[in-house]
Amino acid sequence: MGRFILGRLAATLPVMGVVAVIVFLLLRLAPGDPAAILAGDAATPEQIAAIRARLGLDQPMLEQFATWIWRLVHGDLGTSIISNQPVGRLILDRIEPTLALATSTILFAVLVAVPLGVLAAWRHGTWVDRAVMGLSVAGFSVPVFVLGYLLIFGFSMQLRWLPVQGYVSIADGLWPFLSRLILPTLTLSVIYIALIARTTRSSVLEVLGEDYIRTARAKGVTEARVLRRHALRNAAIPVISVIGLGIALLISGVVVTESVFNLPGLGRLTVDAVLARDYPVIQGVILLFSALYVLVNLSIDLSYLLFDPRIRY
């Protein structure tokens, strides 16, 4: 198994390489010139050219790429064109809100969706099942920004229970931290609840038809135990896969949600960087995301070992 993990980690290197090349090329092919943006509307062509030279953007593309990669393998993500700060520093500054939001979203979604899905499967064909599935369709259909503003309107503006937006670090107190995380988490988790509940339902439903479930019932085991011990564990693998997929998709969901709730996270950093054509920042963030994505996938594959003894790497 150690060999499997090493092999998979080694296999991430070419993946990251391809991502690096594509990100780099796409950014340069996209319209928009960071030097022009930086120089402002009133700048002369000479001023713009000077900025280009300072940033190294006048070098041949291959040379720019080589420079970037060379610094990258030495652990240097580059320097922001706009703020002049190291990209690594910028990412570190912004990672806490994003991490907090992503973690709370996935935890909340799993804690709500898995029991709902199991319940729907167990009460298959009843009103409980139809209600859960109806909610799940609704969850799929509501766009994140609509739901976000609706929640703000209801809970923050009408009821005044929760702050409208912003972020407070956990270091500054648990309630201030949580109270500002509740609405973004609700907003972002709805679609994952829908996705995970649906997958859980169909997976558990399939398992409940298996012979070993009948065996468990024939043993006089209680229904709760049949569901928990015999059904859920065997139904876990598709559910885990979808959760993994969800974590990967979360990256794009985070961008919109952070904008709606004005959270100073990586999503906002990315949007701002894209608008300003801040090449080094965009490249750094995307590389980070793709590395995370690969690690999430690896841990999902490894988690299969916990649930199905037949799987061996």
Partner 1 sequence: MSRPVLEIRNLSVPLPRGADRGYAIEDLSLTVAPGEIVCVVGESGSGKSVTAGAVMGLLPPVLKPSAGQILLEGEDLLKAGPARMRRLRGGRMAMVFQEPMTALNPALRVGDQVAEMLEAHAGRLGRGARRDKVRQLLADVHLPNPESLARAYPHQLSGGQRQRVMIAMALANDPALIIADEPTTALDVTTQAQILKLMRELQARREAGILFITHDFGVVSEIADRVVVMRTGRLVEEGPAESVLCRPQDPYTRMLIAAVPRAEPPPPRARPSLVSPVLATRDLTKNYGGRGLFGGGRPVQALDGISIALQPGETLGIVGESGSGKSTLARCIARFVDPTAGHVRIGGDDIALLPARALHPYRRRIQVIFQDPYRSLNPRRTVGQSIVEGPMNYGLSREAATARAKNLIALVGLDAGALARYPHAFSGGQRQRIAIARALAMEPDVLIADEAVSALDVSVQRQVLELLEAIRERLNLAILFITHDLRVAARLCDRLIVMLDGRIVEEGATAALFADPKHAYTRALFAAAPVMKAPPVEAVP
Q: How many whole angstroms separate alpha carbon 233 and alpha carbon 212?
A: 12
What six digits make up the tokens of 200? Answer: 């859980």
Residue 220 backbone class (left: φ over 0; alpha: ψ -120 to 50; beta: rest): left
222: contact with partner 1 by CB under 8 A: yes
Please list the residues that pair with 79 across neighbouring strands: 86
Count of residues interacting with partner 1 (CB under 8 A): 25
Residues 186-215 that bind partner 1 (CB under 8 A): 210-212, 214-215
103, containing H or E segment: helix 87-122
CB of residue 311 to partner 1, shortest distance in Å: 10
CB of residue 231 to partner 1, shortest distance in Å: 9
- The residue to which tokens 């080694």 are assigned: 10
130: contact with partner 1 by CB under 8 A: no
What six digits make up the tokens of 50? Answer: 């000077």
Q: Binding pattern to partner 1, positions 67-106, x when CB under 8 A? A: ----------------------------------------
Q: Return the range that interacts with partner 1 (CB under 8 A); candidates 2-10, 78-86, 111-119, 161-169.
A: 2-10
CB of residue 304 to partner 1, shortest distance in Å: 11
CB of residue 240 to partner 1, shortest distance in Å: 13
CB of residue 224 to partner 1, shortest distance in Å: 11
Q: How many whole angstroms separate alpha carbon 256 and alpha carbon 267?
A: 7
- Nearer to partner 1 among residue 104 and residue 234 (C-beta): 234
Q: How many whole angstroms separate alpha carbon 93 and alpha carbon 107?
A: 23
Residues 224-263 that bind partner 1 (CB under 8 A): 225, 229-230, 233-234
From the list 5, 6, 7, 275, which residue makes contact with partner 1 (rule: CB under 8 A)? 7
CB of residue 185 to partner 1, shortest distance in Å: 32
Q: Does residue 282 contact residue 23 with C-beta atoms inside 8 Å?
A: yes
Q: How far does CA 200 lie from the centroid of its chain? A: 20
Q: Does residue 289 contact residue 14 with C-beta atoms inside 8 Å?
A: no
14: contact with partner 1 by CB under 8 A: no
**For the residues of 165-219, what is the DSSP string, one character each?**
S----GGG-HHHHHHHHHHHHHHHHHHHHHHHHHHHHHHHHHHHTSHHHHHHHHT
From the list 48, 72, 221, 291, which residue makes contact with partner 1 (rule: CB under 8 A)? 221
CB of residue 3 to partner 1, shortest distance in Å: 7
Q: How many whole angstroms separate alpha carbon 99 and alpha carbon 103?
A: 6
Q: Return the range that interacts with partner 1 (CB under 8 A); candidates 3-11, 15-23, 67-75, 88-96.
A: 3-11
- Nearer to partner 1 among residue 221 and residue 302 (C-beta): 221
Residues 268-307 that bind partner 1 (CB under 8 A): 307
- Nearer to partner 1 among residue 127 and residue 175 (C-beta): 127
Q: Does residue 281 contact residue 273 with C-beta atoms inside 8 Å?
A: yes
Query: Where does this chain bind partner 1 (CB under 8 A)?
Result: 3-4, 7, 210-212, 214-222, 225, 229-230, 233-234, 307-310, 312
